[in-house]
Structure 1
Amino acid sequence: MTDHRAAKTPTLRSLSKRQWIKICAGAAVIASVVGGGLATRGIYTQHHQQTPTAQVTAFSATDSEAASRGDVRTPLDGTSYVKVVVNGKSQNVFGTNFTDVKSVLDAADITLEPTDTVSPALDQKVSENTTITIERADAKMQTVEQKVPFNTIRKEDPNLAKGEEKVETEGQEGILENTNLVQMAGDKVVSSNTFTSWLKKAPVDKVILVGTKTEAPKATSNTNSSSNANSSSNSNNSSSSAASSNIGTTVPVGEMQQWAHDYLLANGGTEADFTATVYIIGHESGWSVSATNPSSGAYGLPQALPGSKMGSHGADWATNYQTQLRWFWDYCKSRYGSIQGAYAFWQANHWY
């Protein structure tokens, strides 16, 4: 006979101890698998959602974002500059590896007096936004103009008779504007040091044309006369072409120019190289070793930007005219092929 009674459904109470152990063990395994999967998923998600932090390695000193790029300025060429204000007059001090205020003042060759007040403190680290302010008692800034002598250039002219001379351009002195820090004791000037200088007006060289033309021999016949005339014409054209490329011979003025002249000629240079040197330096700095462009901070005889570039030719680049000139000549050769190449570029563009 078939049994039509419903099968008994096990209840929690009806489970044996062994069955309870099996159920708990199974639940533990499932929990560990699920938990491990979630943990692994968390690690994977975290690894792929993290955004790498951008590392700033360099920036332009004129960049508007510069202030957010670190506490120590590290421009592309490894140099930096810090603004220094003395009694209201400011200048940019260029150098390398500035660390604190004292390192900047040392680079600027600024010697503090016992009564000077400096802000921030000498051991304060400098950043791209640092402005060093110095107040010097019993001192004032005094602006004076200094005359820059002009040079005399002699150029050959085939259109003038040999031995004849003619002034093509009258010379004019230039003007160098110096700002001096003057220390006073009552009405007496105790000391005066040049704080900044810049070329306010470039000198104009005096140009003297020197004739090289010689009289052609008298013709003996019409044919010869025509031939000689053509020959003379060709000769004059050739001389004229040569004269156009001749930038003349310059008479040195002062110790720096005399050294430059002698150094160039002793090292394979020419009179034309010296003339080109005198012209460029005269128009860039007025032959002031410490000339500083008030807007860009370009420095020295060749107006190197920054001036510390000249350090490749000597640690005394800030004060030694010989170091500055050697750097200038090498710069002209590397960028324009020659000193006269730089001169030609300056003539066409009014900068180099």
Structure 2
Amino acid sequence: MSAHHKSNNPTLRSLSKRQWMRIAAAAAGVGLVVTGGLATRSIYADAKPEAAPQPTAYSVSDSHAASRGNAREALDGEATYVNVSINGKTRTVLGTNFTDVKSVLDAGDITLESGDTVKPDLRTPVDESTTIEITRAGAKMETEESKIPFNTVKKETADLPKGTEKVQTEGQEGILEKTNLVTRSGDKVISSNTFTSYVKKAPVEKVILVGTGVQQAAPTQEAQPSTTQKTDGNASSNNNAAASPSIGTTVPVGDMQQWAHDYLLANGGTEADFTATVYIISHESGWSVTATNVSSGAYGLAQALPGSKMASHGADWATNYQTQLKWFWDYCKGRYGSIQGAYTFWQANHWY
């Protein structure tokens, strides 16, 4: 790839944080423009950004988009980025060992159809200044929204008497927005390819606190201390101490989550590992197997960047949720020591 770089063109390794931010902003300007904060697939765990308020929506224009960890992790090799524009909508494909136009389209999982016009042609060498333009006659970009179900999480707490429950947070559905390149013949859809998708609004879990505390009986008259008697200050403090709720047990929603739950528990995982999995995937991709980030090309349930990393767990990584989840769990263990370790980092930084 380095042989194709012009001497006056900066490489990704030489880009400053400000330049990275300008690249992301430019991509957002010609691509999908949305509001909110982004948390898609951040692998570089060495950076420690200050914790921000819990995001409820995600956008390619967020400040983290320019310093997303997995993009930086790719810089350890011969990494580059190339912009791809389809019928006027642009997204950035980032990966390694790009040689020509075809290699970029393969990395971005962009499939050409009969009649598509590609400029420059497929065998043209590429570098960071290249913009690949694809025109698909009779097709246009269409945006659709779908709901992301919320999960119910039960968390134990000693603050409530055993056998009692209390709703701490009401659940709210999230919103997944997709932009599809659609070809129609009259009212009939001939083909539809997802160009980008992102979590426009993250779902809010319904949290139910489950009491584990001991029911305290009302003291009798004889047991009540007089005004001159001393009480055990430490005991009083312990009784009033608030116990932190656990990470919780999550009720699966849908076939993917049910499989993830059963697979984890059958392979040494815990209910807490499943809870951590649901939280991260719900915020990263809304459980969309083909979720694609417009500014980086991060892909799949876990927003792997590039998505082809998941090929280490199966050739069907682009469409098989089981392959993607297995990669995600191994990644969390390798980077953070455990799935819950990744969850803890996500809670503090809103990316992982």
Flag whether TM exceeds 0.5 (same fold).
yes
Aligned to 1:26: none
Aligned to 1:33: none
Aligned to 2:97: 97
Deviation readout 1:174-213 (Å, 9 max, x if unpaired): 1111001110113432222212111111110111122233
For these two proteins, the number of residue pairs brought into alignment is: 285
Deviation readout 1:116-159 (Å, 9 max, x if unpaired): 21111122222332222111111110011111111110112333
Q: Distance in 1 between matches of 2:15 and 2:233?
A: 66
Aligned to 1:293: 293
Q: Is the 8 A contact 1:219 1:228 kept in 2?
A: no
Q: Provide the secondary structure at the position in 2 that maps to 1:292.
A: coil
Aligned to 1:320: 320
Q: Distance in 1 between matches of 2:76 and 2:341?
A: 28
- AA in 2 matched with 1:268: G
Q: Distance in 2 between matches of 1:75 and 1:211?
A: 49
Shift of 1:227: 9.6
Aligned to 1:302: 302
Structure 2 spans left out of the alignment, 5+ residues:
1-6, 21-73
Q: Distance in 2 between matches of 1:76 and 1:340?
A: 26
- AA in 2 matched with 1:279: Y
* RCO higher in structure (CA 8 A, sep ≥6): 2
Q: Is the 8 A contact 1:144 1:177 kept in 2?
A: yes
**Distance change in 2, residues 1:262/1:154 (3 Å):** same
Q: Distance in 2 between matches of 1:261 and 1:204?
A: 19
Aligned to 1:140: 140
Q: Distance in 2 between matches of 1:306 and 1:345?
A: 21
Shift of 1:294: 2.6
Instruction: From the CA coordinates, give the structure whose radius of gyration is larger.
Output: 1
The alignment status of 1:246 with 2:198, answered yes or no, reads no
- Alignment of structure 1 residues 104-119 onto 2, 5 Å: 104-119=104-119
- AA in 1 matched with 2:299: Y
Q: Is the 8 A contact 2:157 2:246 kept in 1?
A: no
Q: Distance in 2 between matches of 1:235 and 1:183?
A: 66
Q: Distance in 2 between matches of 1:179 and 1:334?
A: 33
- Alignment of structure 1 residues 52-201 onto 2, 5 Å: 59-60=11-12, 63=15, 75-201=75-201
Aligned to 2:331: 331
Aligned to 1:344: 344
Q: Is the 8 A contact 2:80 2:127 kept in 1?
A: no
**Distance change in 2, residues 1:349/1:123 (3 Å):** closer
Range moving further from structure 2, 286-295 or 309-318: 309-318
Aligned to 1:276: 276
**Distance change in 2, residues 1:337/1:182 (3 Å):** same
Deviation readout 1:224-282 (Å, 9 max, x if unpaired): 9x999987974774xx43xx151110001112211211121112111111111111111
Aligned to 2:263: 263
Shift of 1:75: 4.8
TM-score using structure 1 length: 0.70
Q: Provide the secondary structure at the position in 2 that maps to 1:106.
A: helix
Deviation readout 1:24-78 (Å, 9 max, x if unpaired): xxxxxxxxxxxxxxxxxxxxxxxxxxxxxxx9xx942673899xxxxxxx95324
Q: Distance in 1 between matches of 2:302 and 2:112?
A: 29
Structure 1 spans left out of the alignment, 5+ residues:
1-54, 67-73
Range moving further from structure 2, 294-303 or 267-276: 294-303
- AA in 2 matched with 1:116: D
Over the residues paired in the alignment, what is the CA RMSD in angstroms?
Answer: 3.4
Q: Distance in 2 between matches of 1:76 and 1:211?
A: 49
Range moving further from structure 2, 271-280 or 281-290: 281-290
TM-score using structure 2 length: 0.70
Q: Provide the secondary structure at the position in 1 that maps to 2:115.
A: coil
- Alignment of structure 1 residues 206-225 onto 2, 5 Å: 206-216=206-216, 222=223
Aligned to 2:54: none
Aligned to 1:16: none
Q: Provide the secondary structure at the position in 2 that maps to 1:328.
A: helix
Q: Provide the secondary structure at the position in 2 that maps to 1:134.
A: strand
Q: Is the 8 A contact 1:291 1:301 kept in 2?
A: yes
Q: Distance in 2 between matches of 1:108 and 1:296?
A: 10
Q: Distance in 2 between matches of 1:146 and 1:111?
A: 24
Q: Is the 8 A contact 2:83 2:130 kept in 1?
A: yes
**Distance change in 2, residues 1:249/1:315 (3 Å):** same
